[in-house]
Amino acid sequence: MAPTKAVVADDHLALPAGGKNTPLTNTIPISTAQTDIHGLEIWEGTLPIIDLGGLHGPCRSDTIKQLGHACQHYGGFMLKNHGISERLLNGIMSKAREFFHLPEEERMKLYSPDPTSLIRLATGFKDDNQNVFVSRESLKFHCHPVENYVNLWPTNPPSYREVVSEYCVAVKRAEITLLEAVFEGLGMERKSIDQILDNHGQYASLNYYPTCDKSNLGLTFGLRGHTDPTILTMLLPDEVPGLEILQDGDWVPVKPIPNTLIVHVGDVLQGLSNCRYKSLLHRVIVNSEKERLSIASYCYPSNDTQMGPPKELIDDDHPLIYKDYTYEEFYTTMWKQRLPDAARLDSFKVSAA
């Protein structure tokens, strides 16, 4: 299969800081609801913890309910028991750290401002309009199926290709298990599930947030408030806090749990679910003491996938919100509009002019 040139995410799309004082245009409030869902554990009041292993045994239907509740009321969850070994989690994190500790001229060999590049380094930048720095440096690359892309990846640091390939394949496996369960929980038919999962893609980003000079802290973000233009994003954070999610109008820190991924609902899932699930607004703040790293795996459909909600999700109680559009139309519109959040979906609403 020829490599797809889907554009997925870029720093430039994350514009305002968001939050109470500067609300984003379309933020659909996600309220954290009290729940009697069997066995659901909530991490420090922020996000539910889901045990992916629960999908493989007698707890499958409870786990599917937990997933649905998490996607509907929180826009995301912490994922444990995902099947990726601790050795591999540590391995990818070390490789990413080694990469970002290479001399600048070595890293810059991969620099490209072109968002359609199959691999590119994106650097931090200053937004003069808003007078803020966005400090994330990231190495972004397509990675599914891995053999189509691995030859484009760096050979420095040593074993980068081996470790990153192994991680991409492992996280993809967890992603598929998860998506099958999320779609099943929504009530989607097998045909609709296959249509989305056939030929879908994966794009990864190794994210590096350098420490920030104390005098600049007030003006610097790691990433400004945004939602991801994905079905789901699977995020592996290191142990340094920094990720925040917007909950009930406040930015709330998500403290990392060792060996646990953080999963965000993306805009595509919001559209497919006919707004039953809302994409998660999140941002990254920086600190003056410790650098931070994270590894994001963005799952997106193939360019020609129809993205309107499947007909089985539409009834009198759930009237159609989004018309049919392809993923290609979605991201082309996204790049034109340069909106940071799920307002990107508004022009695909049935009610849109």
Residues at the site binding Ni ion, with contacts judged by CB under 5 A: 228
Give SS3 for 172: helix
- Kindly write out the interface string for residues 333-352 of this chain, putting x where it contacts ligand OGA by CB under 6 A and - elsewhere: --------------------
Which position among 137, 175, 228, 341 is part of the footprint of ligand OGA (CB under 6 A)? Answer: 228
> Residue 175, interface with ligand OGA (CB under 6 A)?
no
Nearest CA to 124 among 203, 227, 11?
Answer: 11
CB 249 within 8 A of CB 32: no
From Ni ion, ligand OGA, none, interface partner of 235 (C-beta below 5 to 8 A by class):
ligand OGA
85, 163 contact by CB (below 8 A): no
Query: What's the closest the beta carbon of residue 260 comes to Ni ion, in angstroms?
Result: 17
* Minimum CB–partner distance for residue 50 and Ni ion (Å): 19
Number of H helices, E strands in the chain: 7, 16
Question: What is the Cα–Cα distance from 40 to 34, expressed in whole angstroms?
Answer: 10
For residue 212, give every residue at least 6 positions away whose Cβ sits within 8 Å of its Cβ, in sequence order, or none. 135, 220, 286, 287, 288
Q: Does 234 bind ligand OGA (CB under 6 A)?
A: no
Please select the residue that binds ligand OGA; options are 243, 261, 269, 313, rule is CB under 6 A.
243
Alpha carbons 201 and 75: distance in angstroms, whole number: 21
Q: What 3-state class would DSSP assign to 79?
A: strand
Task: Give the nearer residue to ligand OGA in terms of CB position, either 223 or 339.
Answer: 223
- Among positions 202, 207, 273, 297, the unique one binding ligand OGA when judged by CB under 6 A: 207
In the list 63, 247, 260, 294, the residue contacting ligand OGA (rule: CB under 6 A) is 294
Q: Which is nearer to ligand OGA, 171 or 321 (CB)?
A: 171
52 binds, among ligand OGA, Ni ion, none (CB under 5 to 8 A by kind): none
Task: Name the one residue in this structure whose structure tokens are 């993205």.
Answer: 307
Decide if residue 9 touches ligand OGA (CB under 6 A): yes
Residue 235, interface with ligand OGA (CB under 6 A)?
yes
Place of tokens 């554990």: 41
Binding status of residue 299 toward ligand OGA by CB under 6 A? no
Q: How many CA atoms lie within 13 A of 10 on its CB side?
A: 21
**Residues with Cβ < 8 Å from 118, sequence gap 6 or more?**
3, 5, 141, 142, 149, 152
Question: Given the rule CB under 6 A, which residues bind ligand OGA?
Answer: 9, 205, 207, 223, 228, 235, 237, 243, 282, 284, 294, 296
